[in-house]
Chain A
Amino acid sequence: MEQFPVLAVGDFMLISLREDMSDTQVMNLQDELSKQVTLIRPKGVLIDISSLEIVGSFLGRMLSDIAKIVRILGAEVVIVGMQPTVAMTTVELGKTLGSVLTARNVNSGMGMLRLKTMSSTSLAAASGRS
């Protein structure tokens, strides 16, 4: 996992992608992150892509897949920190991150995760009471 520094922040996991990853490293990330989520059971995962200088169709698809996988494994995902130039280029290329939640930086992503996981906790509590 040394290629992808992982930081535990309370119930959340923060993972920072480094620039210029090879396709193999991106696929390893999907694998490793799935394992970590199963092991650590965070409520939410923040994926920081602020150091990425490009997000092409391959990485875009992989990020959206990773988000889906992590959600199936029981954690919410927010992708944070996409550079404005990367966002403009990705949209013009015709790719989007689909239904994946995104936020401008780690702070607002964390806030989003808190809201998301809070509502699911209270929902669970409410259904437990009924």
Chain B
Amino acid sequence: MNTVRDEIMPLQSESDLITVRQAVRIWMVPEGFNILEQTKMVTAVSELARNAITYGGGGEARLQLLADAARRGIRVTIIDHGVGIEDITKAMVDGYSTGSGLGLGLGGSKRLVDEFNIWSEPGQGTRVEITRWKQ
């Protein structure tokens, strides 16, 4: 699999969140993703990026365009350096909350994409990688 395009963007503020959202859509349009596919990916990115800013103290978003013989895709990795998630299995359940009562929306975001991978280490931060393929 080749990475056709690769870019890292800061994720510290509300305006960074908007910039990343817009960039994901702009990257997806020329790849032929339809509006529903764009909306699902952008929404998932928005949920995860908001978590990184709100709970993770900020971080960065890595955007990648991927290509292999059969298909192309977009992958976004959201990285923060916050407190991390102790029990990822629990955190993936809808409505799970860290105490603020808001829930992380991880399970919901997973449903919006083709691939979802999460790594987290208490005290080290969280990395979530989501991918959407265009067949």
Contact = CB atoms under 8 A, between A and B. Distances in A.
Contacts, number: 62
Interface of B: 14-15, 17-18, 21-22, 25, 35-36, 39-40, 42-43, 46-47, 50, 94, 102-103, 105, 107-109, 111-112
A89 B40 contact: yes
A67 B74 CA distance: 36
B27 to A, nearest CB: 15
A74 B102 CA distance: 27
Interface of A: 20, 22-24, 53-58, 61, 83, 85-86, 88-90, 92-95
By secondary structure, the A interface counts as: helix
Contact of B46 (A54, A88, A92): A54
A86 B22 CA distance: 16
Contacts of A23: 14, 17, 50
A93 B112 CA distance: 7
Contacts of A24: 14
Contact of B39 (A57, A61, A86, A94): A86
